[in-house]
Structure 1
Amino acid sequence: MIPAKAIDHRVARGTREDDPDSRPSGFTVFVKHKPLLILALALAIFHLGNAAIVPLYGLAVVAAKEANGPSFVATTIVVAQGVMVVASIVGMRAAESRNYWPVVLVSFLALPARGVLAYWITGWWGVLPVQILDGVGAGLQSVAVPGMVVRSMNGTGRINLGQGAVITVQGIGASLSPALGGWIAQWIGYQPTFLGGFGLIAVALYRVCIGRQELLNNIRNPKTFPPIASDW
């Protein structure tokens, strides 16, 4: 029902309107695009440690007979989803005023804090702080990561390809997380598993490789959000 004339295909693809040489290019643009690759890798590492916390935390609490399984797991989902809605709104406002990269950085920092809380708090009431941080991380990433991809791929004509590639790499980390977390938990126990260093690795990778360049961009022109692709 959308009129064809209402769609600006050049803008929708992310092609620069004032650059006649900026045309949609092949998949090699993503392969050679360092910021996008680093962002995708950092997200994969983050979700490799993040996705396993909810099922393992539920197993730990139920195994200790401190909560009812079905109701406890349902509570974890409700708390995280509710906080995620609020966090996404806050993240959107923060990105508008301060940029996307610090919002993503804060979302990464939520994982180490969440792991520490899960390590020390094993009880039915511990679901609140643990899952509040889960909602914070998910909510911030839901608005900041697409914004980072759009900025990074601007002018290439492959914004949708970039979004799909990042989500695919991120999904690989999330899908492997329960298997890896379950293996580690069987080996050394539930509590030590929560202290996995994946969150810190993601923070370090993102902060060193992307944060430095984003800071330089803000110093050059703090009033605008320039694409970071040209600086790489």
Structure 2
Amino acid sequence: MKPTFPLIAVSFFAADVQAGVGPFLGIYLLANGWTSEKIGTVLTIAGIVGMLVTAPAGALVDATTRRRGIVAAGGALTVLAAVIIWLGQGFWPVTLSQIATAVAGAAMGPALAGLTLGIVGRQNFDRQFGRNQVANHAGNIAAALLSGWLGAWLGIVYVFALSAAFGVGCMLTAFLIPARSVHRHHARGIARDDNDDNAPVQTDSASILVRNRPLLLLAIALAAFNLGNSAMLPLYSLAVASTHKAGASQITAANIGIAQVVMLLAAAFASRLTRRFGFWWIILVTLLTLPLRAVTAAWLEPPWGIFPVQILDGIGAGLQSVAVPALVVHLLHGSGRVNLGQGAVQGVQAAGACLSPLIGGWLAHLFGYPVAFMLLGSVSVASFAIWIGYGGQIRQACDERGEELSKLADVDSSRLFR
């Protein structure tokens, strides 16, 4: 069996591990007397923990050869989170469950990137990671459909049992990946075969992350983007719940499902589009989706706005899910710090994302949902200013790195794509 098959299976089950119960949690808590600002506070606390854990998780993925174990641990934390929230709906049990979810999601991103890089190498990373993300979004679609069904027929609390089941699936499939198929040096971005001599491996200092200007610009632009974007889905789901209480879980499932279908399609073509147009243009398109999404959410009341709002979300998130990790590999391969870089970029993104629910929740409470959507969308000005203002430097750095990378050794993974 090709090692990419269980890798794709892991990506499928990792969907619920990375995303968690998300909007369903908001509806569940709203039905139990929670306010939107209290829900936003819990999500923000979890987001802060996830932000702090992501970079160390990336460093761990670089340092260890047990990358499959990190994935399995993330699945176990998801099971724990589901059990906790099943047993109690108090502030601290819910907060603890979301912290466990945040830690699992933070570790999963760098771990899957490291496994992919170790199995297929740098040249085919974007192709395989695109396939991973297609499976990941398929997992989200399956989880959304099953969650909607469970919420309608058994009660929304059973959505948490489904999340635990996905966590178990993630744990089992992680160990189906043959350990010997993951090249330990290439998995951390070192162009050296595992069978070479046992001389000490030289890696760059972690300070390479702050010395790499394109990487910094990428992280800051994405942090600004997530500051406005991350609260959109849970906030829109709360808007749905406030006006359509009877069918809130089904409408929320549709809310997630539409976005995930579009993400799946976008991820399927992301590798080809990136190779055709370049990283800078593709990421610029993803940044453009935020203001368009905000205006649509503000002017089209739920449920009518679900389709355009979530289609825009799917385009942006689907392209970013492949283009951003591939760009990090492009900028850092050869340093031995690729997964630290993945974690650092995701951590800076999380810095914006963790504030988004708190700001969005309070804005919705004080001014209503339409104003909250518009104000969240307005932060796109910062991401545009960074990405367009320094566009020439970023494109030049990508071109120069392409020439350098062509001279480095890589994994021969051609047989995996036949």
Smaller-chain TM-score bracket: 0.7 to 0.9
CA contact (8 A) 1:24 1:157 kept: yes
Structure 1 139/67 Cα, relative in aligned 2: closer, same or farther at 3 Å? farther
Q: CA deviation at 1:112?
A: 0.8
TM (norm. structure 1) is 0.83
- Counterpart residue number, 2:382: 201
Structure 1 gaps of 5+ residues are: none
Once the two structures are superposed, the pairs formed by residues 150-189 of structure 1 within 5 Å of their partners are 150-189=329-368
The answer to which of 80-89 and 52-61 deviates more is: 52-61
**2:323 corresponds to:** 144
Q: Is the 8 A contact 2:221 2:383 kept in 1?
A: yes
Q: Partners in 2 of 1:192 and 1:28 — Cα distance?
A: 41
The residue identity in structure 1 corresponding to 2:357 is: P
1:42 pairs with 2:221:
yes
Pick the aligned partner of 1:14 from 156, 166, 189.
189
**In the alignment, is the contact (CA less than 8 A) between 1:66 and 1:123 conserved in 2?**
no
Structure 1 residue 215, shift from structure 2 partner: 4.0
How many angstroms does 1:66 deviate by? 8.7
CA contact (8 A) 2:280 2:394 kept: yes
Q: CA contact under 8 A between 1:151 and 1:227: conserved in structure 2? A: no
Aligned to 2:259: 80
**Partner amino acid, structure 2, of 1:208:** G
Q: CA deviation at 1:186?
A: 2.0
Would you say 1:3 and 2:183 are equivalent positions? no
Amino acid at match of 1:213: Q
Does the aligned pair in 2 maintain the 1:151–1:226 contact within 8 Å?
Answer: no
Residue identity over aligned pairs, in percent, reads 42
| In 1, Cα distance between equivalents of 2:221 and 2:271 | 21
Selected match of 1:100 from 255, 279, 285:
279
Give 1:130 deviation, angstroms: 0.3
Deviates most, 33-42 or 81-90: 33-42
Describe the SS at the equivalent of 1:25: coil
Give the aligned residue type for 2:180: P
What is aligned with 1:129? 308
- CA RMSD between the two structures: 2.6
Say whether the 8 Å CA contact 1:46–1:111 is kept in structure 2.
yes
Secondary structure, aligned partner of 2:286: helix
Amino acid paired to 2:336: G
The answer for unaligned runs of 5 or more in structure 2 is: 1-177, 193-200, 406-418
TM-score (norm 2): 0.48
State the distance in 2 between where 1:46 and 1:158 align: 25
Corresponding letter in the other structure for 2:302: G
Alignment match of 2:393 (pick from 207, 213, 217):
213
Structure 1 residue 78 displacement after superposition: 0.7
For CA contacts below 8 A with separation 6 or more, give which structure has more relative contact order: 1
1:147 & 1:159 partners in 2: Cα distance? 10
Tell me the CA shift for residue 99 of structure 1. 1.3
How has the CA–CA distance of structure 1 residues 28 and 227 changed in structure 2, closer, same or farther, with 3 Å as cutoff?
same
AA of the residue aligned to 1:158: R
Is the 1:66–1:124 contact (alpha carbons within 8 Å) kept by the matching residues of 2? no
